[in-house]
Amino acid sequence: DGGITQSPKYLFRKEGQNVTLSCEQNLNHDAMYWYRQDPGQGLRLIYYSQIVNDFQKGDIAEGYSVSREKKESFPLTVTSAQKNPTAFYLCASILGGAGNQPQHFGDGTRLSIL
């Protein structure tokens, strides 16, 4: 079945450690997105990518990095510079183009600090 797969479901980070969250889609979607969700808040955009080898910062990009070497993959690295990384991270994708289409979401990764 086509969809978006995020892994792992749960992740723990130690102080000063970088961790990478995986997002893979087999929907042949062009654009991919990373969101962060904190309790009592909506989704906030971290990074997004419209095409391979190109990505843009969202509203809260500090302390995060991404790459888009393949169309189907958009990994997110939470660096040690992100001082409050505990949150629920959601990856999404969309077919692209100028048409109106809803985003498809993965099941999320819950990141906590040890």
Partner 1 sequence: EDKVVQSPLSLVVHEGDTVTLNCSYEVTNFRSLLWYKQEKKAPTFLFMLTSSGIEKKSGRLSSILDKKELFSILNITATQTGDSAIYLCAFLSNYGGATNKLIFGTGTLLAVQP
CB nearer partner 1, residue 8 or residue 97: 97
- What is the chain's length? 114
The gap between the terminal CA atoms of the chain, to the nearest Å, is: 35
Q: Which is nearer to partner 1, 4 or 78 (CB)?
A: 4
With CB under 8 A as the rule, give the number of residues binding partner 1: 28
- Whether the Cβ atoms of residue 41 and residue 26 lie closer than 8 Å to each other: no
CB of 32 to partner 1, least distance (A): 11
Binding positions for partner 1, rule: CB under 8 A: 31, 33, 35, 40-45, 48, 50, 56, 58, 90, 92, 94, 96-98, 100-108
